[in-house]
Amino acid sequence: MNNLMDDFSDDRLAHDAKMGSREAFSELALRYRERIYHIIFRFTRNPGDADDLAQETFMMAYKSMKHFEQKSSFYTWIYRIAINLTLNFLKKKKKEQGRGDYIEGYAYTEAPQSPLFSPETHSERKELGERMDEAIRSLPAAYQAAFVLVSFQGMTHAQAGRVLGCSENTVSWRMHKARKMLQAKLKPFVSEVRP
């Protein structure tokens, strides 16, 4: 890859890609592939599905590049494509398999055990993490998307709104509702764990 492109802004690369430069699009894909993969994985919890959907995201973006009006950043535009593809994929998967099968297929990623925690504490933290992930996946798609973008991707409500195609206030409302739903779902478990 041409090292000169490393210095180009996303806007410049997006403009060049719109004009047909494959090298410019390849540089944009290099810049965002990991972030796109991770946001998709956060929803699917399946490396194969995340990889396939990330590839599909970039293929769709490449085919649609000439229609990208650059009213938003490339980052916002590619995230919107990734989120829409992922939510559609999950809806289809849920219909095909049923909710129970999807949850059973979930792979919890365990954090390394700290010597500061007893085995019981570690087990409780792991179970809380599993229940939290399950509760997040059970949120309605719009609330789940807002929650993941803000809580796990570190986006502001305004940034998440641009990705999701809604207002900052709508994201704020969805975050409020998502937190309430998560509190309700996790309350019985948190009460059990506390002495």
pLDDT band at 188, cuts 50/70/90?
confident
pTM (two decimals)? 0.68
Cα(195)–Cα(190) distance, integer angstroms: 10
Question: pLDDT band at residue 122, thresholds of 50, 70 and 90?
Answer: low
Question: Domain map of the chain by residue range?
Answer: 7-107, 113-195
The CATH fold of domain 7-107: Rna Polymerase Sigma Factor; Chain: A (1.10.1740)
Angle separating helix axes 74-97 and 157-164, nearest 10 degrees: 70
| Per-residue pLDDT at 191 exceeds 70 | no
Give the torsion through C-alpha atoms of 135, 53, 40, 31, to 10 deg.
Answer: 180
Q: CA–CA distance from 71 to each of 25, 48, 74 (Å)?
A: 18, 32, 9
* Mean of all residue pLDDT scores within the chain: 81
**Alpha carbon distance, N-terminus to C-terminus of the chain:** 58
pLDDT of res. 94: 74
Candidates 109, 106, 60; CA nearest to 83 is 60
Range in 28-32, 120-124, 142-146 with the lowest mean pLDDT: 120-124
In this predicted model, what pLDDT tens digit does every residue of 70-107 receive, in sequence order? 888 898 899 999 999 998 898 888 776 654 433 333 33
**pLDDT tens digit sequence for 42-76:** 888 899 999 999 999 999 999 999 889 888 889 88
* 113-195 placed in CATH 1.10.1370.30: no
192 — pLDDT class (breaks 50, 70, 90): low
